[in-house]
A and B are shown apart, each in its own frame.
Chain A
């Protein structure tokens, strides 16, 4: 079976890979590029653990084909911090203990970042509905919501 040659940018870096036609972007990130921060929780777009942005748009990478990444800009959890400096959201998640097992955390951080880019001052309800596509089974969401709202406030100060 012939492979598809894809050239893309991931977290600002050029990336190149060969993939099968049926491989998802999540498969490519995890299996070919060793970017295992995006997780497979369902492979059906229901849990959000594989969230990344594609050309700035929040997507479940399990619902995007690897071939669709050609010429695109992808952002994953691995690119969220700058060097030693955590993104405000990452720091607030730690400050608020907004994670227990942590498996949903990369996807929720990506989704929350995407929210705050569109809406820097979301209400609690807006945060809850925006994150409704990201399942967390440990926390009951309470501390996650607090962390996002606190991060938004901090980011508005800058």
Chain B
């Protein structure tokens, strides 16, 4: 059996709740985040941003700013080489406008000065002449015949005829005979749904400290979900070899996908290169909203057929997503996940991405899936109402399970959807009584989860303690989980292990902290690194005992002689082997590098009770329960935390959060006052039920848990509101005016 396959075993440390190694620093204010460090001679950067949604840049005059003695460097798009690979070119073009402003807040000129105040004063002295162009910020406007072309030459070659030049990407998934499937249905419902763009809303704005020397070497400190990817992007953009740029990830104040790319880092490096001094660059909250990477907004048409006993006979969806002024691949996971929770004989999804005058989309927790599954789960709910069927029973009847050919192609292995649905059905929440103006909604959710390139190094210190070095920023407890897996595998107490996050030059490549991959893939590599160290420790014991190394086994943190020729030696503890290691061959370590496959797909079910005030349209969430398959919950606290956090973000998305643009194409709510994320008094307790259906592709059975939890809330809440007011809601967010209008339209 391959080492990375799940093996049932009794755990000593996995599943307990250990203290996180970064805990004390984070409750005492000592932890250092992106904006928390300084360097001798440091300059402060500021960015002039365009006040137009779409405009040609006719001229830029920075001479008056450059005349200020405090100004040490000025950077425009002209400072960067052109003709990079498409993706990387888009990254830098999204940071700083080349010849055309593509969205409100698009960077135009960056300045480095000796103080923040001087940098701000300098920005006011820059003169930019714009030729304002017609814009399109909404999907329908950008798709319309005669729509302004956001970027010429970007039309996708797979996009069918009849779509304009703003359409950059197209995809189709599915199987079976749709016509035959719909013919078997007793009822077919077709609906169209809209979701607004939302922002990840991490509380820490992007921040970095860049230092380039005249020898061409650079150091970059930044808050990021992936220091290696930052290095790859910045090295290409600046034109340097990767080994010359060391990127260190700070503690990170939230990311949720939004810190998987760069927005300021190459600008800060270029300013530092030109000034010959370190440059600190931080974004304001206004800049974060305007010029980082919110989600796509979406329009999704769904058509589903069902028999009167609740069997889905066919499902079809057409997704239109906009991901800002650049091509965007989020339609792929959207179209793949739309029907992923169902076992269907006839299913088809098609999707098109259209460019608009909005910032370039970045990932946000299960990117593309929440809006697609919201649309599908809304129609399934309406069909349940139509036939008077229990919505959980209908899910149980149609749920994907082991052996199901998924709606996007692969056949599922062991998955936890049925177990999750059964847990929801058995939970007291599902049958609790409801009062007037109250309703209950539910929805399933799905996410793929990823593995990816991973490197881990594990060192056995001479005193018998363990140092683990990994390369993925710790967003919500990964260091503690990785320490626990190392301790479990080695058979040592948890407090003997300390895990740190390395910079790019201290460890091999690690992909970005995304796809819920860290506990799965870094965990896998940590377990294998521990096994490598165990192998070496057994060899050392064999040397001491002068027996064959095959005659030594590892048990409970000790090397023990085994087999007929091993002799009767006292077991040697890890600490004893470590202490003797200078005399038995030198330091002991284990390491593992892998492009991890075998990530296990993850399913969840959310139950939501809420009350709608019929006079104001205001919705109060009364009770919320999350059921999710974690595969194996390494540290249950942080698994619950992911389930609760995703639910809270989904609640915000469903009820309140949206990017609001004016007729002028400018963002009208670029701040936490007007883009209001849920606060403590908006939410009830969020209960969690962790299911553990082991992922066959991980030695401890781990699946990712970070993303699935944001998928179900959209439909769970919309279904609850729709059932409460007796009108099928088809647009998010369901802010009070929209709910009030729906109530009035129905004459209720």
**Interchain CB contact under 8 A, A97 and B637:** yes
A90–B282 Cα distance when bound, in Å, is 28
A100–B28 Cα distance when bound, in Å, is 14
**Nearest CB of B to A23, in Å:** 8
Residue B719 is within 8 A (CB to CB) of chain A in the complex = no
Residue A61 is within 8 A (CB to CB) of chain B in the complex = no
Residue A74 is within 8 A (CB to CB) of chain B in the complex = no
**Interchain CB contact under 8 A, A134 and B649:** no
Given contacts A20-B117, A44-B285, A100-B477, contact A140 B686 (CB under 8 A): yes
A105–B22 Cα distance when bound, in Å, is 13
**Interchain CB contact under 8 A, A49 and B203:** yes
**Interchain CB contact under 8 A, A101 and B475:** yes
Tell me the nearest residue of chain A to B207, going by C-beta: A40
Residue B32 is within 8 A (CB to CB) of chain A in the complex = yes
**Nearest CB of A to B463, in Å:** 22
**Interchain CB contact under 8 A, A97 and B638:** yes
**Interchain CB contact under 8 A, A97 and B17:** yes
Residue B476 is within 8 A (CB to CB) of chain A in the complex = yes
On chain B, the number of residues with a Cβ less than 8 Å from chain A's Cβ atoms is 58
**Interchain CB contact under 8 A, A102 and B645:** no
**Interchain CB contact under 8 A, B29 and A37:** yes
Q: Per-residue CB proximity of A94-128 to B under 8 Å, as 1/0? A: 10110111111110010000000000000001011
Residue B78 is within 8 A (CB to CB) of chain A in the complex = no
Instruction: In the complex, identify which listed stretch (B320-328, B405-413, B447-455, B669-677) lies at the interface while the others stay far away.
Output: B669-677
Residue A55 is within 8 A (CB to CB) of chain B in the complex = no
**Interchain CB contact under 8 A, B683 and A41:** no
Residue B26 is within 8 A (CB to CB) of chain A in the complex = yes
Given contacts A20-B117, A39-B203, A105-B26, contact A100 B647 (CB under 8 A): no
**Nearest CB of A to B205, in Å:** 7
Residue A143 is within 8 A (CB to CB) of chain B in the complex = yes
**Interchain CB contact under 8 A, A42 and B672:** yes
Residue A72 is within 8 A (CB to CB) of chain B in the complex = no
Task: Identify which of residues 74-97 in chain A touch chain B, using a CB-to-CB cut-off of 8 Å.
Answer: 76-78, 80-81, 86, 90, 93-94, 96-97
**Interchain CB contact under 8 A, A46 and B673:** yes
A7–B200 Cα distance when bound, in Å, is 40
Task: Identify which of residues 675-710 in chain B touch chain A, using a CB-to-CB cut-off of 8 Å.
Answer: 677-683, 685-686
Residue A138 is within 8 A (CB to CB) of chain B in the complex = yes
**Nearest CB of A to B704, in Å:** 15
A22–B685 Cα distance when bound, in Å, is 41
Q: Per-residue CB proximity of A39-59 to B under 8 Å, as 1/0? A: 111111011010000000000
**Interchain CB contact under 8 A, B681 and A137:** no
Query: Of B26, B203, B647, which contacts A137 at CB under 8 A?
Result: B203
Query: Of A30, A39, A101, A141, which contacts B648 at CB under 8 A?
Result: A141
Residue A15 is within 8 A (CB to CB) of chain B in the complex = no
**Interchain CB contact under 8 A, A44 and B671:** yes
**Interchain CB contact under 8 A, B671 and A42:** yes
**Interchain CB contact under 8 A, B681 and A43:** no
**Interchain CB contact under 8 A, B683 and A141:** yes
Residue B84 is within 8 A (CB to CB) of chain A in the complex = no
Tell me the nearest residue of chain B to A145, going by C-beta: B680
A105 contacts across to B, CB distance below 8 A: 26-27
Tell me the nearest residue of chain A to B17, going by C-beta: A97
Tell me the nearest residue of chain B to A91, going by C-beta: B27
**Interchain CB contact under 8 A, A129 and B681:** yes
**Interchain CB contact under 8 A, A41 and B203:** yes
A96–B641 Cα distance when bound, in Å, is 10
Residue A63 is within 8 A (CB to CB) of chain B in the complex = no
A132–B677 Cα distance when bound, in Å, is 11
**Interchain CB contact under 8 A, B204 and A94:** no
Tell me the nearest residue of chain B to A34, going by C-beta: B38
Instruction: In the complex, identify which listed stretch (B93-101, B249-257, B335-343) lies at the interface while the others stay far away.
Output: B249-257
**Nearest CB of B to A11, in Å:** 11
A132–B28 Cα distance when bound, in Å, is 22
B36 contacts across to A, CB distance below 8 A: 30, 36
**Interchain CB contact under 8 A, B204 and A97:** no
Given contacts A90-B27, A101-B202, contact A39 B644 (CB under 8 A): no
Tell me the nearest residue of chain A to B477, going by C-beta: A100
A128–B204 Cα distance when bound, in Å, is 22
A86–B19 Cα distance when bound, in Å, is 14
A129 contacts across to B, CB distance below 8 A: 680-681
B28 contacts across to A, CB distance below 8 A: 37, 77-78, 80-81, 86, 90
Residue B284 is within 8 A (CB to CB) of chain A in the complex = yes
Residue B586 is within 8 A (CB to CB) of chain A in the complex = no
B204 contacts across to A, CB distance below 8 A: 39, 41, 101, 103
A118–B22 Cα distance when bound, in Å, is 30
B contact set with A: CB distance below 8 Å:
17, 19-20, 22-33, 35-36, 116-117, 200-205, 251-256, 282, 284-285, 475-477, 637-638, 640-641, 644-645, 647-649, 671-673, 677-683, 685-686
A to B CB contacts below 8 Å, 20 in the list: A27-B116, A37-B29, A39-B204, A41-B253, A46-B285, A76-B29, A90-B28, A94-B20, A101-B254, A101-B476, A102-B25, A125-B681, A131-B681, A136-B203, A136-B680, A137-B203, A137-B649, A138-B475, A140-B647, A140-B686
The 6 closest A-B pairs by CB, nearest first: A37-B29, A103-B253, A100-B476, A140-B648, A102-B26, A97-B637
